[in-house]
Structure formats: C-alpha cells, structure tokens
Amino acid sequence: MKLRVPAILSFVLILIFSAKIIGSEHSLMPVPKEIKWLEGKFRLTNEFSVSIKGSPNERIYSAATRMLRRLDARTGLFFNQDFITPANNLDSSEFIIYVLSEGRVVLGEDESYKLLIEENSINVHAPTDLGAMHAMETFLQLLQADEEGYYLPMVEINDEPRFQWRGLMMDVARHFMPVDVIKRNLDAMAAMKMNVFHWHLSEDQGFRIESKIFPQLHELCSDGQYFTQAQVKDILKYAEDRGIRVYPEFDIPGHATSWFVAFPELASATGPYKIERQWGIFDPTFDPTKEETYEFFDKFFGEMTELFPDEYFHIGGDENNGKQWDANEGIQEFMKAKGIEDNHQLQAYFNQRILKILTKYNKKMVGWDEILHDDMPTNIVIQSWRGKEAMIESAKKGYMTMLSNGYYIDLIQPASFHYLNDPLEDDTILTPEEQKRILGGEATSWAELVTYETVDSRIWPRTAAIAERFWSPKNVNNIDDMYRRLDRISFLLEEHGLLHIKNYEMMLRRLTDNNDIIYLKTLVDIVEPVKIYQRHFQGVKYYQHSPYTRIVDAARPESKTAMLFNKLIDEFLIDRSAQYRDKIISYLNLWENNHDKLTETTRLSPIISEIIPMSENLKELSRIGLEAIMLIRNNEKAPVKWKDKATGIIEAAKKPYGQVELRVTAGIEKLLRHVF
C-alpha cells in the first residue's frame, strides 16, 4: 500500500528536515538566543554593499568597513566600497544596518540585535550600535559557499546576551604584552561578543603603565616594558570602537613588589627592593597604617581614574600573606590601637580607605574575593576566584559579583571544563533578586608561563567556549557540538592576526632547528602541558626571564588529536567495527614508528632531548595497544605476563617529561583493561 503523504505535510517535513540540517551545520559561536532558519540563500557578489541608518555612534562606520574587508579577504570578491563613512553612506544597499541610538560602552547597555537574511537583502535592527556590531560578527560566521559561489543562508536571528559582564583578563605584568598583542586579542574578543577587558597592569614582577605623576614607577619598576599613556588611550579607543569596556587593575596591597623598587618607604618592611623574578606569593605589601600610603594612592589613582573612563576600577587584594604586617611593630601597635583583630580586617581597613579615594574619583571598586568583608559597603564588585562560594556569599550579602573560578585558562584545562562551569547553576540557592547580582564572569590569562609568542594559544580557542557560556542561553551546553564549532571558530580567529595556530609550527621549526618537523609534530600533537600548577613542581624552576620556547610551550593546551583518538577508542569498545579499529591501528602504527625517526632527525637538537624518553614510552605504549587490539580481534584475554608488562608500560607512559604529558594514555589504557 502506497502511503499518500499530504503535500503540505511533505512540505513541512522538508522544512523541518532542512532546518535541522542547516541548523546542525551552523558553526555559530556563541549560539544566538533564537535562530529560525529559512529556506534559501543570499548570494554574495562584487556588488555587495552596506549602508547604515538611524542614529548610531560613529564607530559603526569603521566596524562596517572592517566587516567588508574581512568578507572580501575570505571570498576574494572585489567590493566597491572602500571606507564607509557618514559622508559616503549609501542611501540603499543589500545590507542595511538600522540602529536606534548611540550605544554607550558601559555595563548594562543594550547589546541585542535582530538579523534577517533574505534572498535579496540583509537587515540588522539593533537598539544600539553595540548590538549591530554583534550582528555583524554573527553575519560573518554565517558565510558559506557552494559550487555557485559564496552565500549566506537565509535566517532570522534574535539575539541578546545572558550575562552583561563577559570578560577576559590579561596579566601584562608578569610578562609584558605589547600593544599589538592586546589589539588582536580585543579583535578576537569582539568576534566572540565579549565586552570587558580587565587589564592587570601591576605585579611583583613588573609595573606596566606610564605615570606622569610618579614617573619613577615606570622608570624603575618596568624594565622599560610598559604602556605609555598615549598607547593606553589608543587601546582604549580601539576597544571602545569594538564595544569593549576596559578597566584597569592595580593589585594591592600585596602582589606589589615592583612598586617598592621606586617607593620602598610605602612597603611594610625596609627596602631596598628589586623587581621580583620568581613566581609565587611574596611578602612585600603596602603599609596600610601610614597616611603617606593613602596620599600616594590619592594622587596615583587620581591620575589613573582620569585616564580610564570606565566606571569600574580593580584594586586586586588577592594573596596578601600578611607576613610583613605581622613582623612590623608599628603595624601591630596600630592594629591594637584600632581594635583590628587580624590581617583580613586590616586589609578591609585598607580597602575602605582606598574605596574612599575611588569614590572621590567616581569609580566603583572591584576586587578579588579576599576583599569581601562585612566592613566593606555593598557597592563593590567581588571577583570570585578561589571557588564559587565567594560569589554566592557576595550575592547573598548584596554585592555585585562575577566569576573567574573555573575560567582560569592558564591552568591548561579542557574547553569542556570551562564550558560546563556556569555562573548560575540549576540548583542555585540564590533568589531571583540575588541572581541578578551575578553579572557574568572573566576568563583569566595569568602570564607566569606565557609570553607574547604563546599567549594567544593559551587564550584561544578555549576562551571562545567561555564566551559562549557568558552569552548563550544556559541550556546551550552540548559538549560535542561545542567542540565541533570551536574547531571552525579557532580557524576563523586567525583573521585577527592571532598566533594560536601559526606559532605552533614556528616553534616546532625552532625546536628542530629547521629540520623536518613532522616527527616532532606527531608527538607534540598528542601531548599537553601538565595541568593546574604542576609545571612548577617537576624539577624546573621558572623565572621571568627563563625561556618559554620548549616543547611544553609549543604544545597546545588541548590536543585535538588525542581527543579524537580517545573518542575512537570509546566508539570502538562499544561497536567493534573495522572502521574504528582501522583508524586506531593507523594512529598506533604512526606513533610506534615515530620514535626512531624522531631520534634520528633530532640528534642535533639538544632542546628536544628531554622528550625522548616520552617518545620511547609512546612507542612501547603503541605497540602494546596494537597487541591489545589483536587480542580483542581474536577475542582473547591477555596472558598474565603480558598484563604485567602492559601495566608497567601504561604507568611509564603516564610520566611527564619536560612538563608535558601524553594524552592518549587514557584511551590506550581502556583498550588494555578491556583485555585484562
């Protein structure tokens, strides 16, 4: 019997099916709030043009121009418009951007937009140009091609962010990050709809900004590596043009050794002081009992608050170990006299004095969770890093707060770990009112172990997953789909000059002294730097001036190859089909054969020698993996002796070398355990 399907039903089915296909093919990141795929394509030709309507801020014109240039760079199309300006703005065009009013780059500004792509026209409607710029980023991510040429799929998107504070913090103090590094990361942030740049400008290891009031600060505390005020203004403009708020952090009272090179008298122990070259937590800390300290900050913050227009101003406050305070008689007496019971309370006293200064200059204080104290007023913002407890406690107590715990990208954890870390869990104990105080969060790029050569790869692409966590609806949390899209996003991010992909092979070339990198790459493709803080505890003491050009520095935080391999193992252990098995065998053969070739071609690269034992372990591991597959294939169990040998090999393969670890060990171990 032939089933007669009503025409309309067929049509609907086709629609749903097509939408599903297009929908699942999309590589948008962050995923928009509402997407309605339509049927059809908007074809891109040389005649493509853009016009602006409404009352936008002038930044929209250069943003539209940048969009056009990124589009022609990818497509090779020769558009007519050179620089889109108010003066040459077209009356009509294929792509029309309607902006209701000027966007202010401040917390809470409307960043929503509607993007409608139809067959002959594209329209953006946004209350502010900030939303319009987000629309342009979504638009660029939609670009596709078929045999006829480039096109955009027809779609209707309604989008707005879940959280208002979607930030990246860059520590430019432990290792200086020049202007071009900051700018390309701002471009990448904008592409990911991130809107807050937290500029961590001072540390024990360096003071990174020009002060005209206290020039000794940049003259004596920076090794000549700092941002001039002209450069700061240039970067502020660059960020503002991209809808990104910028606020500075001057981490006090601890984490401040470098300042005391210029002003030892403000420390809590006698100097002189030298710029700190090691990593860790150090004793030097500001003396909170001296009026000179507050006179200094009044002047210095008077200058800095003038330079940075954002309403928020971060004063750090983390990891102040209080040792200098404990050992300082004058401070002890002060505490006794004032009834201050402990260092936490003394630091709260300090923070209150600083808060008065910031308030005088119309700034709102932000600090790490150590600044949370009942003596502090609730108009400060708490950056929760040691856990989520501080964030929850802050929200409950009436403080605004944002989350960095779980977004510490310097700890080399997978994108999925950060992706699933949500500022507002489903089972939150917070009331709706309290929940509103969770502003969002910040990924933190601490710079002990990165330099301008490697920082991009430690931030991207994983921070894109965090950006999605901050923007997209809570229920957008499918890990596999995130990784699928992350892969493409990582590629697209190169457009901004990021070095996260390019520098990998450059560093491998340097490591092999320009010999064929293939064998080293085969190994380094499947290792990752050891996680959390382990790198500091494996026999290598790192200093600020140490080289960060070894294999561990070239290795990517997340090995895509290892992830794919481990997935293959999982699939294979469920369904023993030949397709998985053959791919696995292919990898294992590759890795087994790699060792001899690697050692042969890198005899004259001593810098690589530290990895050779791992290469050997990988060879053994691969061999034993291949043997396990044979056993599985033959439906055999492993002999005891083999089991012992395999166990020894697995354990050896888990050992880190050069502060990297093999990431395929877990997968191969599963294979082995399967035949144990």
Residue 288's closest CA among 334, 256, 319, 247?
334
Put residue 40 in one of left, alpha, beta given phi > 0 → left and psi -120 to 50 → alpha.
left
Binding residues for a second copy restricted to 600-659, rule: CB under 8 A: 603-607
CA dist 627 and 622 (Å) reads 9
| CA-based radius of gyration for the chain | 28
Binding residues for a second copy restricted to 474-533, rule: CB under 8 A: 488, 491, 494-495, 499, 501-503, 505-506, 509-510, 513-514
Report residue 128 as tokens: 């502010």
In the block, tokens 């300090």 appear at 350
For a second copy, the closer CB: 81 or 289: 81
- Residue 603's SS3 state is coil
Report residue 290 as tokens: 């001296």
Single-letter code of the amino acid located at 505: E
Other CB atoms within 10 Å distance of the CB of residue 662? 24
Q: Which of 18, 22, 33, 79 binds a second copy (CB under 8 A)?
A: 79
Q: List phi, psi (to 5°) of 80.
A: -80, -35
Single-letter code of the amino acid located at 294: Y
Q: Which of 18, 75, 89, 158 binds a second copy (CB under 8 A)?
A: 75
CA dist 557 and 409 (Å) reads 9
Annotated active-site residue in 118, 156, 219, 319: 319
- Residue 583's SS3 state is helix
278 touches a second copy by CB under 8 A: no
Cα angle 338-344-347, degrees, rounded to a multiple of 5: 70
Q: Which of 33, 53, 74, 386 binds a second copy (CB under 8 A)?
A: 74
Least CB distance to a second copy at residue 607 (A): 4
Least CB distance to a second copy at residue 523 (A): 16
For a second copy, the closer CB: 388 or 550: 550
Query: Which range of residues in 78-86, 258-266, 415-423, 519-527 is near a second copy by CB under 8 A?
Result: 78-86
Least CB distance to a second copy at residue 15 (A): 24
CA dist 89 and 420 (Å) reads 44
Report residue 398 as tokens: 């009436």
- Is 219 noted as a catalytic residue in this protein? no
- Binding map of a second copy across residues 576-605, x = CB under 8 A, - = no contact: ---------------------------xxx
Query: Which range of residues in 178-186, 323-331, 344-352, 614-622 is near a second copy by CB under 8 A?
Result: 178-186
For a second copy, the closer CB: 74 or 290: 74
Q: Which of 114, 198, 550, 595 binds a second copy (CB under 8 A)?
A: 550
For a second copy, the closer CB: 251 or 276: 276
Strands (E), 219-342: 245-249, 312-314
Query: Which range of residues in 142-150, 287-295, 530-538, 572-580 is near a second copy by CB under 8 A?
Result: 142-150
For a second copy, the closer CB: 546 or 579: 546
For a second copy, the closer CB: 5 or 506: 506
DSSP type of residue 32: P
For a second copy, the closer CB: 79 or 361: 79
Report residue 411 as tokens: 């700890």
- Residues binding a second copy: what is the number (CB under 8 A)? 57
Binding residues for a second copy restricted to 143-162, rule: CB under 8 A: 144-150
Q: Are strands 364-368 and 381-384 parallel, antiparallel or unpaired?
A: parallel
113 Cβ neighbours under 8 A, 6+ residues apart: 124, 125, 126, 131, 132, 134, 135, 138, 157, 159, 160
Name residue 42's beta-bridge partners: 152
Q: Which of 1, 3, 8, 230 binds a second copy (CB under 8 A)?
A: 230
| Contact footprint for a second copy (CB under 8 A) | 62, 69, 72-79, 81-83, 144-150, 178-180, 223-224, 228, 230-231, 234, 277, 488, 491, 494-495, 499, 501-503, 505-506, 509-510, 513-514, 540, 543-547, 549-550, 603-607
Catalytic residues: 319
